[in-house]
Amino acid sequence: MSATTPKTSTLSKLPGKMYLHPATGEELFITTPSFRQGNASFLKSRGLQLLNAMAALKVQVLGSFWLPGMHIYSANDIQSIPTIGALPKSLLFVGATTEPVNNYNWYSFKGDPLMVVENRWGSVEDYVNSFKKKYRARYRKAMELGSTVETFYVNQPDDFEDCCQMFQSTLAPKVAALPENLSLLLEGFGSWFGEDYKVLAAKQDGRIIGFIGYLKDGEVLRAMHYGAIEDAPGGLYSLLMFEVIHRGIEGGFSEINLGRTATEIKSTYGAVARDNYFSFYTTKPLLKLVLRIAKNRYQPKGYILRSALK
């Protein structure tokens, strides 16, 4: 196996290292995560204290917590990876899987589903017409906000800084597995992915009130980061999500991945849920005990799925 990062890989620009699977030749992107102190009540309600505790450990991640949904493996495919000799040694190995890994030394926790709009339309008009009457009315109501809100691609430093500040205030209290300075993450995406990463902002009465980032990833368009001011209009989230969906349809992408969280509302956009799990591997007896206890206490977030399409 080679530990040299392939020059052709976009991921070679991200913090982490690329390895090749000795049997399949597949690129394996391995990262060492950074953790921030998430909101205590949020962590406690979900049994996620484990994430903050992991900050002091030697942890290796297959893929990156910064790229949700981009590196997901079957339970069968992931099982041999932690024991590959050329990979960096770790006390704890983490990967995302499509189903739980039911094998020795593995512990899987169900995450929020990834919400995906499977593109089967030739135009945005076809997409809108595929909604049931109730959800078509919701779509039109969300898009009405566009008459008072200007959307544009961010390319000026001052506008970008406004988006960074909104991102920090929107996401910082809720997420542990991200860098302390979230502004650096937004800046990094622009540097790492270039023109494939866009920040779409919404301006009202001369000020930016919210934004959404999205990433072109082959046949998939991925909605990434969202931020908004505290008193943003109620329909702004839906407006910007629909703008991303429009671009996915018009761009001929096979699917538009809206990411995790806000499961119910994303299902009203026509997105379907794809299960995924955070699967941990360790051979250390103490960590195995901690993971067993955590698994007994962990409570996946409940959600309701709506059937928005005909």
pLDDT tens across 243-273, in order? 999 999 999 999 999 998 899 999 999 999 9
Q: Is 303 helix (H, G, I), strand (E, B) or coil?
A: coil
Taking 90 as the threshold, does the pLDDT of residue 15 lie above it? Answer: no
Averaged pLDDT, 156-179: 74
Q: How far is CA 227 from the centre of its chain?
A: 14
pTM score > 0.85 for this model?
yes
pLDDT tens across 67-116, in order? 888 999 999 999 999 999 899 888 999 999 999 999 999 999 999 999 99
Taking 60 as the threshold, does the pLDDT of residue 1 lie above it? Answer: no
216 φ, ψ (degrees, to nearest 5) = -85, 120
Q: Is 229 helix (H, G, I), strand (E, B) or coil?
A: coil
Averaged pLDDT, 203-212: 94
> What is the distance between the alpha carbons of residues 178 and 180, in angstroms, rounded to a whole number?
7
Averaged pLDDT, 221-235: 92
Of residues 175 and 138, which shows the higher confidence score? 138
22 φ, ψ (degrees, to nearest 5) = -65, -25
Of 8-22, 118-132, 151-165, 218-232, the range with the highest mean pLDDT is 118-132
Question: Which residues are within 8 A (CB) of 254 and not within 5 positions of it... i.e. 6 or more apart?
Answer: 118, 119, 219, 220
Indicate the pLDDT class of residue 209, thresholds 50, 70 and 90: very high
Q: Which residues pair with 110 in a beta bridge?
A: 277
Complete domains list, the chain, with CATH: 10-111+275-297 (no CATH), 115-273 (3.40.630.30)
